[in-house]
Structure 1
Amino acid sequence: MTATPSPLPVPPRLATPTGPRGADQPWWNTQLGSAMPFSRYERSGTRLPHLLTDRTWPSKSLARAPLWASVDLRDGNQALRDPMDIRRKKAMFDLLVRMGFKDIEVGYPSASHADFSFVRTLIEQDLVPDDVTMSVFTPARPELIDRTFEAIDGADRAVVHLCHATACLWREVVFAMTAGEVEEMAVRAARHVARCADATKGTRLRFQYSPETFNVTEPEFVLRLSNTVAALWDASPDRPVTLNLPTTVETDSPNVFADQVEWMHRNLDNRRSVILSVHPHNDRGTAVASAELAIMAGAERIEGTLFGNGERTGNVCLATLALNLFSQGVDPQLDFSDIDGIRRTVEFANQLPVPPRHPYVGDLVHTAFSGTHQDAIAKGLAAIGRRAAEAGTPAATVPWNVPYLPIDPKDVGRTYESVVRVNSQSGKGGVAHVLNTAYGLDLPRAMRVELGRRVQRAADHGGGELTSRALHALFAEEYLEFDRPRLVLKEFRTTPGAVGVTLDALVVLANGEERRLTAGGADAATAFAAALTGIGITVQRPELTEHPLPDTVGTRFAAYARVTVDGTVYHGVGIADDAERARLTAVASAVNRAHG
């Protein structure tokens, strides 16, 4: 017998909070002050030159998809322990195109030979569709800008993405520059980009500017930089500049970022000549919220990665954002109809697993183990089926409204088989749902309760999840398979009478003896119950339901009996090629359980 492993000890360095409670802490909150060095970290407050008292974003909602900009091949790639080779990059690029992305940052060609070679491969092999624009990233250094333009030579169209940090901390610690010197650097780099573009023939070029660390930069300084760069690049409505606002390291709650974006949106010069973009990171775990509020605040474009890969805690997850829109009836303008196939490609390219609880794509996101959740889901799916039947339309066209499931798993290529899974936390509804979806068995309510108790004992004993096959085995042990059955129905014949039927049945008893029984009744099951008195079995009030079981070679029937045997109620199940035999076998099953 395998020994139960000892639980891990409590980490010895933990210091249980024992400090004073907060001054305004209510009596019902008994938490105590911790020894965590929280005083090292300053509350940032707002990073606006003045508070927005007339912000408009809180009253808005998301009504259409933004321009999705994938940075999987650049920002995502540079965050990998094992950066993508050409084969993995090509798989990711093809996936993004197939899904419908039109704005793809394909690399950082001045950073590595691999990135440079991939950009050249896309151009020389004509792999970029006509309606897809590739962008290439460059820092604000002349020699790196030159290398970037060398990489895109011969492209039909491209966006050159100029980026440098602007925040005070970076200016002082990283660059050792004043604000004025950083502004001069930005102007020199923007002019160098423009000169290189003028010298480039045959390529339709546009430009993007990212004041990296935007969210912790003085707003008026970053506004001045942005307006200056856009003007140097002759931004116009027919050739707009993309202004990308990164939360390079997420430091504030999403509402602060929304205020920052709205302030920029209101105060930018020549606003119609700017595509306002955001690039949220996920250091606080709120990148999705930041991106959604930023769109409400005036942003039109979002940079991120599929499933959120990126430095530290990652970039914003574009799949989550797009499917959030989808779940609210908004066309995401991206295709997620095979989300597991998408995940496999992303995992291959990134060499990183997607967690099982990742929104929409994780293995367990549509799965319920809790009994109350399972019951609600099963009833919701049944309601969808009823509405479809009443309307005479496929279930896939019925408006989706199922408890605990924000979208129909089938719309992203999943099945219902994994929606309800059974362990010790599950209830009768979950057990019944799994048997129904996997085997077509529609158990009556009282039998669900009875079988649920049996499953609960098995789950408590085993300690893990029970598969649909394991559940069916428990069901069969309980209702279909008996080591020493009291009786087995071998054959029968019914003869219609003036009132009801007469039943002639041959049964086999536990000792192997065959007995022929005859009796009449309102129906075959009632007649069978009456006939059993001839062998000393008192069966009263048989109640039966049945339904067809579609099979690969025809149709079978499942019948469920509720009978009183010797004064006690028992349930039984019969499965047979015809409905009448299934009903009589169900009565025999109940008798065998009574005497088992």
Structure 2
Amino acid sequence: MDQEKLHKYRPYPPVRLTDRTWPDKIITKAPVWCSVDLRDGNQALVQPMNLEEKLEMFQLLVRIGFKEIEVGFPSASQVEYDFLRLLIDGNHIPDGVVPQVLTQAREQLIKKSYASVQGAREAIVHLYNSTSTLQRDIVFKKGRKEIIDLGVAGARIIREQAGQTATKIRYEYSPESFTGTELDFALEICEAIMDVWEPTPENPVIINLPATVEMSTPNIYADQIEWFCRQMKSRDCALISLHAHNDRGEAVAATELALMAGADRVEGTLFGNGERTGNVDIVTLALNMFTQGVDPGLDLSRINRVINVYERCTKMEVHPRHPYAGELVYTAFSGSHQDAINKGMTALDLTESGLWEVPYLPIDPQDVGRTYESIIRINSQSGKGGVAYIMDHEFGFKLPKDMHPGFGRVIQEVSDAHGDELSAEMVFHTFEKEYLLNSNGYHLKSFNVLKRHFDKDEESSIAEIAAVVVVKGAEKNIEAVGNGPLDAFCSALRDGLGLRFTLNSYHEHALTRGSSSKAVSYIEILDQDEESWWGAGVDTDIIVASIKSLLSALNRSAAKPKKE
């Protein structure tokens, strides 16, 4: 950055709070949530929502579990006024859900706001006026007393109007741009408003302290909230509400610390939509709590449905790296990450603790309606662990650990050539081509166990086999005797075809996906140069699967470049 431009900026002043307590607190319960998607989020859209989209969004918010929803600025917009009437006249507001309307401290605007909520069982009327030094000095050119008088006059009208309606009215006040307001002045005007409304512990007011513009590090916002909570009179008669914006990219952290500092309520939006850089993201806040064992009181177990409605109504897209909700957040491309996730998922299957403990995944994707299918995706950066995970969890092939590096190299070569991410199906297709369908050298036409018995004197099994193997298009009849069918087949290949190899490792298991009657065998051989080659075979007969697996390894060995 240009050093000469730095003189235009100065650090935000800290709060002189030497005995702050919030750093030692933890969040143990969810706040009262208030969605402002239909007001703050809507007014930030290039194309604001129409009535049908607003209704769909409102119904989504209700399904998620919001009990307080700021539905608009009915005194400033006919569409928002009409929408509130649609909600009330159409009986779309369930019991226990309270609509909230925002109004400036002007009589005609307050009266229109009250007209918009007529017929509702309950409503929150949210009064605000600007209090920051910049707003006072530059926009309104008014002193402190004039700003207080403006707010108090609005509060009186709100109280008078509340006495003329059958709707139960709850009061909320925001000193707009709280973070740009001197703390003592913010406290003074809020207490002046409370004096008009006369709240009680049984009927508290909402004092909303918005970071209308995020101007400091999150710890300072927390200090401001703790200072305010400690200094205000009649603290038990107010719910302290937060409304953080994300100008510095720290709204989630600021809100979490401010909750630790004593706040009771949070206003925000789904996925952080809102003016400029957006409001605090309630999805992230709620799921952060969930991962700490705290019930957020919101149902985000079907996150894809939430995303679909949000994107359809707002015409905005959820970023692929968005916490918890992004398309790629449960995906690992890095080889080391894939290997750790693979091992973590395996360990999870074996533990009885019930705790979610998987490296790189702070939440179980299934808890938000995702599946394990997208956890690991394959590209040129992927490693053997990720490839093994795909083969196991997608297709039921539990590749032996020593087989992982070789197949990982095969996939990396394919990915490099492809130049893009490989789908799970492409990974399996590569496995099929490389191991299961590789018959360029040797192909089994028939295999029979002619005789098999147990030699009591030798305490061993003896098997006699006969097979027909196609070698470069020509059929070869081979037979031999061995300790078992596989050993006999190895002897037949050595004696009948002159092959030189050593059987080094053998694994088998029933396939866990697809047909349960099939089994898979994995065999490692060492060729005449002591080089390791793995093969794989699938069949309903495990003996035949092992024969196919051996031929697979031999075919892969035969395909290696000849030494000069």
TM-score normalised per structure 2: 0.95
Q: Does 1:289 align with 2:257?
A: no
Structure 2 residue identity aligned to 1:343: I
1:535 aligns with 497
Structure 2 matches for 1:187-266, cutoff 5 A?
A: 187-200=152-165, 202-266=166-230
CA deviations on 1:292-321 (whole Å, 9 max, x unpaired) are 010010100000001000000000000000
Distance 1:124 1:490 in 2: 78
2:541 aligns with 578
CA deviations on 1:419-470 (whole Å, 9 max, x unpaired) are 0111111111111111111111111122110111122222223322111111
Structure 2 matches for 1:168-567, cutoff 5 A?
A: 168-200=133-165, 202-387=166-351, 391=352, 398-482=354-438, 484-493=440-449, 495-497=451-453, 498=455, 499-533=460-494, 534-567=496-529
Compute the RMSD of aligned alpha carbons: 1.5
Q: Does 1:86 align with 2:51?
A: yes
Shift of 1:84: 0.8
Structure 2 matches for 1:113-124, cutoff 5 A?
A: 113-124=78-89
Which of 486-495 and 581-590 deviates more? Answer: 486-495
| Contact preservation (8 Å) 1:550, 1:556 | no
**Secondary structure of residue in 2 paired with 1:458:** helix
**Secondary structure of residue in 1 paired with 2:255:** helix
- Structure 1 unaligned runs (5+)? 1-16, 18-33, 392-396
| Contact preservation (8 Å) 2:199, 2:238 | yes
| Contact preservation (8 Å) 1:502, 1:518 | no
Which of 297-306 and 555-564 deviates more? Answer: 555-564
Distance 1:493 1:427 in 2: 41
2:9 aligned to which of 19, 26, 41 = 41
| Contact preservation (8 Å) 1:108, 1:115 | yes
| Contact preservation (8 Å) 1:369, 1:425 | yes
Shift of 1:277: 0.4
Structure 1 residue identity aligned to 2:209: L
Distance 1:555 1:251 in 2: 65
Distance 2:546 2:439 in 1: 21
Distance 2:523 2:516 in 1: 23
Shift of 1:492: 2.1
Distance 2:11 2:502 in 1: 76
2:102 aligns with 137
Structure 2 residue identity aligned to 1:228: A
**Secondary structure of residue in 2 paired with 1:490:** strand
Distance 2:396 2:71 in 1: 49
Distance 2:466 2:272 in 1: 67
**Secondary structure of residue in 2 paired with 1:496:** strand
| Contact preservation (8 Å) 1:506, 1:514 | no
Structure 2 residue identity aligned to 1:69: C
Structure 2 residue identity aligned to 1:482: N
Distance 2:24 2:516 in 1: 58
| Contact preservation (8 Å) 1:525, 1:542 | no
Structure 1 residue identity aligned to 2:200: S
CA deviations on 1:386-427 (whole Å, 9 max, x unpaired) are 12xxx4xxxxx8210000000000111111111011111111
Shift of 1:474: 1.8
Structure 1 residue identity aligned to 2:487: T
Structure 2 residue identity aligned to 1:593: R
Amino-acid identity (%)? 44
Q: Does 1:588 align with 2:551?
A: yes
Structure 1 residue identity aligned to 2:11: R
Q: How many residues matched? A: 552
CA deviations on 1:254-285 (whole Å, 9 max, x unpaired) are 11111100011011111111001010000000
**Secondary structure of residue in 1 paired with 2:533:** strand
1:104 aligns with 69
CA deviations on 1:106-155 (whole Å, 9 max, x unpaired) are 11111111100110111111111111111111111111101100100111
| Contact preservation (8 Å) 2:511, 2:520 | yes
Structure 2 residue identity aligned to 1:584: I
| Contact preservation (8 Å) 1:486, 1:595 | no
Distance 1:374 1:553 in 2: 27
Shift of 1:36: 5.9
1:3 aligns with none
**Structure 1 residues 494 and 282: alpha-carbon distance in aligned structure 2, compared to 1, 3 A threshold:** farther
Shift of 1:481: 2.3
Structure 1 residue identity aligned to 2:428: H
**Secondary structure of residue in 2 paired with 1:555:** coil
**Structure 1 residues 511 and 80: alpha-carbon distance in aligned structure 2, compared to 1, 3 A threshold:** closer
2:115 aligns with 150
Shift of 1:551: 4.8
Shift of 1:553: 4.6
**Secondary structure of residue in 2 paired with 1:101:** coil
**Secondary structure of residue in 2 paired with 1:500:** strand
1:29 aligns with none
2:562 aligns with none
Distance 2:345 2:543 in 1: 30
Distance 1:261 1:240 in 2: 18
CA deviations on 1:146-184 (whole Å, 9 max, x unpaired) are 110010011110010001110111012111211111111
TM-score normalised per structure 1: 0.90
| Contact preservation (8 Å) 1:526, 1:542 | no
| Contact preservation (8 Å) 2:269, 2:279 | yes
| Contact preservation (8 Å) 2:395, 2:513 | no
Distance 2:264 2:302 in 1: 27
Structure 2 residue identity aligned to 1:37: K
**Secondary structure of residue in 2 paired with 1:279:** strand
**Secondary structure of residue in 2 paired with 1:584:** helix
